[in-house]
Every structure is written in structure tokens, then in C-alpha cells.
Structure 1
Amino acid sequence: MNILNPFIHCPVYETDHLIFTKVKEEDAEALFECYSDPVTKGRMNNDNCGGVWDCHSIDIVRQGIDGWNKEFDAGFYIRWIVRYKPLNQIIGTIELAPIPNTTRFLDGMCRTGILRIDILSSMGKHAIFSEILKMVTDHFYIEFGLENIITKVTTDDIPRIQAMEHNSFLKLESNTFIPFDDYYLRSKR
């Protein structure tokens, strides 16, 4: 099977209610609302990211976007904005990064991707998370050459937990992928 390199042509995904496009600097203002939301901030996955991202200004978001795009240019990971089509509103981001972080997608060694989902808390509904997870499982295993996708879910995020269960992600009781807690896994079928 010939897999296109997503770091040459970043894929755009679309579902019934959502559009996923590579993050760009012009998204900073809309993303500031998401990343300054205290509930969203408490549910972010900063594991292995070098600390907590304190997003107290749009300039911090711009710096974050610049960093994400540099990682994309280096072929390491991709961060997409999530746009809610009915309101034409950016409601957050998703990211796919390789595990272990010493590998790269499509290098023949990366078999697991970590999915980070940062969604504005007012949009953090079961249906939104399920639509994200369905898009991810429909595309990422094949397009990124993965066998497993893991993602973190805080124990108080009931809609996200329900979406994980609804989309066949299983709670990892013994996490051998990374040394952090509260992860869910779905393997390629």
C-alpha cells in the first residue's frame, strides 16, 4: 500500500459537523478562548510536553502555534484546528504525535500515536468527542502507519470517557506506552 506523507501535504478531514485543518497563526485569537478556559486547561494533556502551558495572552498562543508548525516542518507531529461547522467556530485542536517520541511516523518503527484533544469546555460533549474519535480511527491507522492510538482522559471528564467507550477505546490499567496515568487505547482492527 502506498501511503502519502502527511508532512508534505497535511491532510484535511471533514465529518458531519467538524472540519480539521492544520493550525495556522491566524487561528490564535479563536484558540485563545479555548486555551484560556480553565476547564479546558485542566483537561489538557501536557504529558511529555515539558510542563504546563500557561496561556494568559494571545501572544502565548501565537508562540504555541509557531512551535507546533516547526514540529510539523520537522516531520514530528501535526496539530489541527477543529472547526464546528454549524457555527463556523474554532472550538479547539487535536494533535497526533509519535510514541516513543524518538520515532517518526512512517519510519517503520513508530507503531503508536498519542492523540491530544483540546476542546473548549462548552463544546466538550459526547457527540463532539465521538465525531473526533470516529474521524481519527477512520483515517489515522492507515495514513500514519499506526497499530495503536492512545489518548489521555481525566477522570472527571464524563462525556469524553463515554465517547471513548462508545468508540471502543479501552482504559489502560497497565500503561506500557508512556509513564503517565489516565490513558485509553484503541488498537487497529
Structure 2
Amino acid sequence: MENVYEVCPTCKNNYITLRQTILDDAEELLKCYSDKKSVPFFNYDNCHGDDFYYTSMERMKQAIEFWNYSYSNRYFVRWTIILNSTNEIIGTIEMFQRISEDDFNHYGVLRIDLKSKYENQKVIDAILEITNESFYYLFDVKSILTKAFPTAKERVISLKKKGYIPLGKKFMIYDDYFVRTIID
């Protein structure tokens, strides 16, 4: 398989498609990132003060430009989530392999940002099916961390159903992480 930073794959299952986020997604993504009900579920840990609540097209485009810059510099990959039945853009996910001199070196970190009406088990299950099937290999990781606040009940249920368990300790200085580890 190609290096994820040389050729960004499109991943698909029966319910959703993940493809690299592009500037043309800005108008639809603004509906997610300006959704006040969605913001409490976003993981902005270690994002230098960005809470991902965007209310202007200009700010949304700046974010996408930063995501594309980050991809070209191999920091992380941001995919747009598309609902197959309607072609509606319903959010994004981000993934990267973390390089650090701590207990979480070479762990994958997954962020999931969804419009509030799609913060449900069906969508999250579909996302996790793709990530569980492909992302360990794409990012050369054995463990994936992702955040789910206790108030994100649907997300927590999906994570547990798909093999993620509470981390049980802080990730850096942050709480509310789940982890899934594969064994060779």
C-alpha cells in the first residue's frame, strides 16, 4: 500500500465515504463547524486554543488550508465524511501517528468531528469500521487513541462496541480518552 502522505486513499463502506478534505468542502463543512450543538463533542486537545467553532466562510477556508498544509508536511490527514445515500458532507476525521518521548509514542490519534444530527451510533460505527480496518496499517500504529466526553453517550457506546476501552489515565494532560490496540 502507498504511503498515506503520498497518496491519500479514499475509504468507503456501505454507509459513508472518507476522502481527503479539499477547499471545495468549505461551504458544507461550515454547517458542521458552526453547529453549536456539535462543538462540545470536538476534540481540540493540544490544538493551541482552536476550539473548531467557525462562523465564517473565511475561517473555515483557513482551517482547510491549514489541514492541507499539515498533510503536505506529514503532520496529519484530514478526511471529509460523506453520507453515501445523499452525498451530504457530515463532518471530518483526522488521524496521525504521534511521535513523542512518552508512553504514547507511535500511537495513532483519531479525531471525529460531526454535525450534531449525525453524532449517533450508526455514523460513528461506520467511521470506526473503516478506521479499525485500515488506519492501523495506513499509519503504522498498533494502538489508536480517541476522545469521547462522558456526555457523548452515543460515541461512547460505539467506541466500546468497536473494541475501544477507556484509557484509564491521562493522555498528556487530557482526560476522556479511549484506546484500541491490535495484536500481531
Give me the TM-score of the superposition, normalised by structure 2: 0.93
Amino acid at match of 2:173: P
Match of 2:41 among 43, 46, 67: 43
Deviations 1:72-131 (A, max 9, x none): 0001110000000111100000000232468xxxxxx95201100001110111011011
- The equivalences for 1:76-87 within 5 A come to 76-87=75-86
Note the residue ranges of structure 1 that are not aligned, 5 or more in a row.
Answer: 103-108
Note the residue ranges of structure 2 that are not aligned, 5 or more in a row.
Answer: none
Q: 1:75 to 1:171 in 2, by over 3 A?
A: same
Aligned to 1:180: 174
Give the SS at the match of 2:38: helix
Q: In 2, are the aligned partners of 1:113 and 1:149 still within 8 Å (CA)?
A: yes
Aligned to 1:146: 141
Give the SS at the match of 2:85: helix
CA distance in 2, matches of 1:185, 1:152: 9
Aligned to 2:31: 33
Deviates more, 1:112-121 or 1:48-57: 48-57
Q: In 2, are the aligned partners of 1:80 and 1:95 still within 8 Å (CA)?
A: yes
Deviates more, 1:63-72 or 1:140-149: 140-149
CA distance in 2, matches of 1:5, 1:96: 14
1:66 deviates by 0.1
1:180 deviates by 0.3
Give me the TM-score of the superposition, normalised by structure 1: 0.91
Deviations 1:114-153 (A, max 9, x none): 1000011101110110110111010011121101100000
Q: Aligned residues: percent identity?
A: 28
Q: In 1, are the aligned partners of 2:167 and 2:178 still within 8 Å (CA)?
A: yes
Give the SS at the match of 1:90: strand
Amino acid at match of 1:95: E
CA distance in 1, matches of 2:167, 2:62: 33
Amino acid at match of 1:122: K
1:26 deviates by 0.3
Q: In 2, are the aligned partners of 1:95 and 1:116 still within 8 Å (CA)?
A: yes
Amino acid at match of 1:187: T
1:173 deviates by 1.2
Amino acid at match of 2:94: E
- The question of 1:126 aligning with 2:121 is answered yes
Amino acid at match of 1:83: I
